[in-house]
Amino acid sequence: MCSVLLLGKVATKEELEKLRSEMATKSDLEKMATKEDLERLKAVMATKEDLEKVKAMMATKEDLERLREEVDAQLRFLAIRVEALGARWGVVSEEAFREGVRELLKEAGYAVEKWLYYDGEGFIYGYPSEVELDVVVKDGVTMAVEIASSLKRADLHAVRRKAELYEKATGRKVDRVVVITPYISDRNPPYVKAMAERPGVKIITPEEAAQKPA
């Protein structure tokens, strides 16, 4: 009778295995986060207040648009001085004219980079050629600037393609494409300016500068 009662109290193998599966091991306990772990996690996580501060520091679309308008105003002011270089009347060479405009841009606080690239695939003109483009940076705005003593409507396509080639070759984004010229060689300059706007090219001339206050 006693042996029967003892056997009734002894756990079976199945019951022991079930107990082991339900019990936490030392390894399981070590994996649990402590209060110190939670405090360290809180210290590195961003709070709602942190996110609000970051949002306040980020530029809005209105800020960027205002910055673009300021850059355009500065370029119009520079265009007035460009006319004084006299390239329209052939007083200086094309390269001397470009160098003069670069100096004006530097004096106004712009960072000017002369970009030279060999277009072996003929992306710009349809045949291999050397490409020259001025890259101007100020206040975080990157502009591809074509400096020309005169501009024909046929030049617009090449100007836009130069900016695209620059982005493709360097991986840097161009925010604005600008042509600085004292003279549009066309019987209808306003039409050429309208044509330029379609592919996103801004033409800056002394005539426009005189009409819009800086």
Distance CA 117, CA 165 (A): 9
pLDDT of the residue at 214? 35
Two tokens, residue 128: 């291999």
DSSP for 105-160, written as a single string: HHHTT-EEEEEEEEETT-TTTSS-EEEEEEEEEETTEEEEEEE-SSB-TTHHHHHH
Residue 139 amino acid letter: D
pLDDT of the residue at 144? 94
pLDDT of the residue at 4? 46
Low-confidence ranges of the chain (pLDDT < 70): 1-11, 15-16, 19-35, 37-38, 41-48, 50-61, 63-64, 66-93, 206-214
Beta bridge partners of 131: 117
Beta bridge partners of 2: none
pLDDT of the residue at 16? 65
Distance CA 87, CA 4 (A): 118
Number of CB atoms found within 10 A of residue 90's CB: 11
Give the H/E segment covering residue 79: helix 61-83
Q: Are strands 176-180 and 201-204 parallel, antiparallel or unpaired?
A: parallel
The per-residue pLDDT for range 101-160, each reduced to its tens digit, is 788 788 778 889 999 999 999 999 999 999 999 999 988 889 999 988 788 998 999 999
Number of CB atoms found within 10 A of residue 120's CB: 9
Tell me 89's DSSP state.
G
pTM of the complete model beyond 0.95: no
pLDDT of the residue at 160? 93
